[in-house]
């Protein structure tokens, strides 16, 4: 009986979370006359799957998708490379001021992006990067304090005997990192990659600030084009929202066990 009660409560709670997603999907499939009925209809009388194709072609979403994929891929790649190098340096190298420098890196997490937004805009404007994809890609190649912390904590859990054995065999630091440390960091690297991918894919404020030309828009900016001065195309918004939600959901679904393993593997050592 206790198990039945627990599962019943979990099912009820899950329905509360699934309801908005189900409403978005059914709204995308409704006809225009059923959108604003009261009381609202949860199930449309006629399923109009053509709404997805119509919404996709109203705006150049194929171009928006290419921009989003480019930004997401390069940003994720930059975070993985830069954060791995910095985390390895903090975890394995002994140098004067290392702990203080690491605290400075962690302290940057307390500075919200809204504080650095204007200085970054001025800097990118000076470099001539406004209305290009560079402001959305290049900063990721300089690492993230949160990801550096996660990867450092994982590297600290790896025994130094692995490094010493490789050094005896004649391997340098780069070879140790690439051939020994990185293969063992699989779950943590997947965790960083998934988090960064979702952050870039769903980013709206960054593209809104740095992009002006529609040919450079990402999917989130393209979605905002359905909101006009005199109304909102709710049907198209819901259709595109459902479509652009598929890649993050798929990535999270296939990588969830690696995400849990990556978080558990970071530990608290050091």
- What is the per-residue pLDDT for 268? 44
- What is the per-residue pLDDT for 265? 52
The residue with greater pLDDT, 32 or 174, is 174
> Does residue 266 carry a pLDDT above 70?
no
Q: The whole model's pTM is what?
A: 0.85
Peptide bond into 176 cis (omega under 30): no
- What is the per-residue pLDDT for 230? 57
Residue 109 sits in the same domain as residue 224: yes
> Does residue 122 carry a pLDDT above 90?
yes
What single DSSP character describes residue 19?
Answer: H
Supply the range of the domain harboring residue 230: 58-266
CA distance 240 to 225: 11
How many structural domains are present in the chain?
A: 2
User: Residue 182 sits in a domain of what CATH number?
Assistant: 1.10.3720.10
Can you spell out the DSSP letters for 167-209?
A: HHTT--HHHHIIIIIHHHTHHHHHHHHHHHHHHHHT--HHHHH
Residue 107 sits in the same domain as residue 185: yes
Residue 23 sits in the same domain as residue 136: no
> Does residue 231 carry a pLDDT above 70?
no
Residue 44 sits in the same domain as residue 121: no
Q: Give whichever of 31-40, 129-138, 156-165, 229-238 has the largest mean pLDDT.
A: 129-138
- What is the per-residue pLDDT for 138? 93
The residue with greater pLDDT, 151 or 40, is 151
Contact 166, 130 (CB under 8 A): no
Residue 245 sits in the same domain as residue 126: yes
Q: Convert the pLDDT of each residue in 176-194 to its tens digit.
A: 888 888 888 888 898 899 9
Residue 41 sits in the same domain as residue 169: no
Residue 87 sits in the same domain as residue 126: yes
Residue 239 sits in the same domain as residue 125: yes
């Amino acid at each position: 009986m206790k198990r039945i009660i627990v599962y019943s409560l979990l099912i009820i709670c899950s329905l509360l979370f699934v309801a908005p997603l189900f409403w978005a999907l059914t709204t995308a499939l409704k006809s225009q006359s059923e959108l604003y009925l009261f009381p609202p209809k949860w199930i449309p009388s006629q399923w109009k799957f053509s709404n997805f194709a119509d919404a996709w072609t109203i705006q150049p979403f194929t171009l928006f998708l290419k921009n989003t994929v480019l930004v997401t891929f390069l940003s994720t790649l930059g975070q993985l490379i830069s954060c791995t190098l910095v985390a390895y340096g903090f975890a394995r190298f002994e140098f004067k001021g290392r702990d203080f420098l690491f605290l400075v890196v962690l302290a940057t997490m307390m500075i919200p992006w809204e504080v650095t937004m204007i200085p970054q805009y001025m800097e990118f404007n000076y470099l001539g990067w406004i209305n290009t994809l560079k402001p959305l890609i290049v900063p990721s190649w300089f690492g993230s304090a949160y990801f550096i912390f996660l990867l450092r904590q994982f590297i600290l859990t790896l025994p130094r005997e692995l490094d010493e054995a490789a050094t005896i065999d004649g391997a340098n630091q780069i070879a140790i990192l690439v051939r020994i440390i990185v293969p063992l960091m699989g779950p943590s690297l997947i965790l960083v990659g998934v988090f960064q991918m979702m952050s870039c894919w769903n980013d709206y404020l960054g593209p809104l600030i740095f992009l002006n030309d529609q040919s450079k828009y990402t999917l989130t900016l393209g979605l905002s084009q359905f909101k006009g001065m005199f109304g909102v195309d709710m049907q198209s918004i819901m259709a595109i929202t459902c479509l652009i939600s598929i890649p993050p959901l798929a990535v999270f679904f296939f990588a969830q066990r690696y995400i849990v393993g990556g978080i558990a593997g970071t530990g608290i050592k050091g």
